[in-house]
Chain A
Amino acid sequence: MMARLFAGRLPLLATAVVCAALYVAAGLRYEGFVSQDVALNLLRDNSFLGLCALGETFVILAGGIDLSVGAMLGFTTILIATLIEQAGLHPALALPLALALGALFGAGQGSVIHFFKLPPFLVTLAGMFLLRGAGFMISLEAQTIRHPAYDALIDYSFDVFPLPIVIFLAGLAAALVLSDWTPFGRAVYALGGSESSARLMGLPIGRTKILVYTLSGLFAAAGGVVFTLYTQAGNPTAGAMLELDAIAAVVIGGTLLSGGIGHVFGTFLGVLTYGIIQMSIIFEGTLSSWWTRIAIGGLLVVFILLQRLIQRGNSE
């Protein structure tokens, strides 16, 4: 029992060690890396990726996958920009509307996956195409947002934390509560562990599945909101390939892609690890940005193989 518990936490532990080691190494190598400004930038630059990754964590924990989060982020940004700029809607109306649409679209994807028993991979792939296409239908060009209320939101900061970080951390807190202290969270783990066992236990399979994708849509839309705060614009191409980074962050965070094992907090650490690698490459100066992708790919391999070893150890 103890071994099993430990095995379940091992990937999370590994992530924490890697994340801390990278941070310390970067701090020793680069002057000024360990500072409040850099730490705040780390959080702010990765806040929209983090939100998408948090939603993705629930989907993967439940044994699914959501490829539509990047496209959802892009769609949300251009929707918000157009609603405010062209339709003259107040941000107080536009933002909730965008969030609701995100959740609704996620629920739609979940329903198709559940009721028609289609592979999540395919359905969310179609969702990705649909959202990208819809974003381009709204506008082919990026659109700047100029609205006094929006400027106030962008300038707002809680203590030293600007709004994107506040939303990210609030999202993290909500995700932690949902996964660890609610029946829904337990159902997600059970569903990812074994769908047939979860059904035999009388857990609401369909509702959980649909809710997981709803949550992912909502978080991705929140990522879109943060992205508009971050860039003060909507862009239909925003978040291209972001779904890959989100999935990578979840895996590096120690969540097994087969579902059932992992933790929301690991995803937070995974996002930080991603951010630290990116930031170190910027600090290095001579290295180009494509090293980030190679480093993330390398970390992915290590974590995937580590997970396989743990799974094999468990089954024997």
Chain B
Amino acid sequence: MPESAAYGFRERAGRLVWPLLALALLLGLNAASAEVSFFRLTVRDGCLYGPAIDVLNRGAPLLLAALGMTLVIATGGVDLSVGAVLSIGGAAAAVLLAQHDAAAWVAALAALAVCLVAGLWNGAIIAFFGVQPIVATLVLMVAGRGIAQLMTAGQIVTFENPAFAALGTGYALGLPLPVWIALCAYLLTGLLVRRTALGLFVEAVGSNETASRYAGVNVRGVKLFVYALSGVCAGLAGLIAAADIKAADANNAGLYLELDAILAAVLGGAALTGGRFSLLGTLIGALFIQTMTTMILLRGVPVEPTLALKALIVLGVCLLQSEPLRRRLMFWRAAP
């Protein structure tokens, strides 16, 4: 038993090598360029500031969305609605704060509850009606922003609530609060899936749904759980995004977030066919994406054309996962 556990650990760690190398390469590139001091940290009033902290801070919504996405992908599904759910969460919190004078914790909990319902809706269509995840979550992806705009009546709703705004701009123990929220979410989820059998169930459903049903795994329950978790994670990201700008922008909050989240999970070693995942890998993948974005911003290059760069990275990672290509490479290596 200890032996197999050690093997599992080594296997898992082995998969992290490539994402880690990529991140290290990116950070190395940053360190090498003298013009922007990427690692310069300054302490002001006991709080850390600097580009590296900024990556963590700005990346918090992506880190959270990618966390939920990883478990969804591990069951062989995909959640296209996280960007739309993020905007719903932000809109719900902002409307409660601005128009109903709700307390910060009431608004936050209510918004999370709304996002939980959104996640359960996705999970229910997939688990009980057997609809493919792409299609089922497409519904909320299409309608979600409409619902968010319905809440805000098409306006950008601004609010003044220092306690809530702290979620996005506050500091605790020298680090920004969004970073703590994301780290706590990873720790809690990590404990939940790796210290209980839940992670095993998730991977079992992703590897072979029929077999796991015969083995007594509650497939429907597992699916409901991962989509609900994804909804809550997107909601948390929405709270941070709204608190950051003290407003909810239903149109632009979390635009294309689902794509970055999927990319982070895939970069982190999750197979889109399901069956395996690594939360640590996803963390590294998300940091990689955010570092890239920040790096480009620091250099004053417009962000939009860099989408092409992202595309090439996705393609490269996909090709590395491709069976036929691997076989061909092995063949070449074996030939001479």
Contacts and interface: CB of A to CB of B under 8 A. Distances in A.
A115 B323 CA distance: 10
Interface in A110-165: 112, 115-119, 121-123, 125-130, 132-134, 136-137, 140
B200 interface: no
B135 A116 contact: no
Interface-centre pick from B131, B144, B262, B325 (highest chain A CB count, 10 A): B131
Given A140-B304, A236-B304, A133 B309 contact: yes
Interface stretch (B38-46, B189-197, B310-318): B310-318
Contact of A134 (B134, B272, B308): B308
Interface string A220-260: 00000000000000001000000011011001000001100
Contacts of B140: 297
A123 B318 contact: yes
Interface residues of B, number: 47
Given A125-B262, A294-B150, A300 B138 contact: yes
Interface stretch (A2-10, A21-29, A284-292): A284-292
B29 interface: no
A245 B259 CA distance: 17
A129 B132 contact: no
B78 A121 contact: yes
A122 B305 contact: no
Interface in B123-162: 125, 129-132, 134-136, 138-147, 149-150, 153-154
Contact of B146 (A116, A117, A123, A291): A291
Given A119-B272, A122-B266, A123-B318, A298 B138 contact: no
Q: Which 6 A-B pairs have the closest CB atoms?
A: A297-B143, A133-B308, A293-B146, A129-B311, A133-B307, A136-B304
Contacts of A119: 272-273
B129 A137 contact: no
Interface stretch (A176-184, A188-196, A301-309): A301-309
Nearest to B150: A290
Interface-centre pick from A115, A116, A308 (highest chain B CB count, 10 A): A116
A293 B143 contact: yes
B324 interface: yes
A315 to B, nearest CB: 11
5 contacts: A117-B324, A122-B314, A130-B315, A136-B307, A294-B143
Contact of B322 (A116, A128, A134, A298): A116
A129 B272 contact: no
A304 B131 contact: yes
Contacts of B153: 288
Given A121-B272, A130-B308, A136-B304, A116 B142 contact: no
Contact of A293 (B78, B142, B311, B325): B142
A301 B139 CA distance: 7
A12 interface: no
Interface of B: 78, 125, 129-132, 134-136, 138-147, 149-150, 153-154, 259, 262, 266, 272-273, 302, 304-312, 314-315, 318-319, 321-325
Nearest to B152: A290
B302 A136 contact: yes
A65 interface: yes
A167 interface: no
Nearest to B306: A133
Contact of B315 (A117, A126, A137, A297): A126
A116 B145 contact: no
Nearest to B132: A257
Contacts of A132: 304, 307-308
Nearest to A130: B311
A133 B305 contact: yes
Given A126-B318, A127-B311, A304-B135, 14 more contacts: A117-B322, A119-B273, A125-B259, A126-B312, A126-B315, A129-B308, A130-B308, A133-B305, A133-B307, A244-B141, A247-B138, A251-B135, A290-B154, A304-B139
A115 to B, nearest CB: 7
A205 interface: no
A160 B304 CA distance: 40
A203 interface: no
A122 B138 CA distance: 15
B272 A258 contact: no
Contact of A290 (B149, B272, B302): B149
Contacts of B132: 257-258
B319 A140 contact: no
B311 A137 contact: no
Interface-centre pick from B149, B308, B322 (highest chain A CB count, 10 A): B308
A244 B142 contact: yes
A13 interface: no
A118 B134 contact: no
A297 B304 CA distance: 29
A133 B314 CA distance: 13
Contact of B304 (A125, A133, A305): A133
A247 B143 CA distance: 14
B322 A118 contact: yes
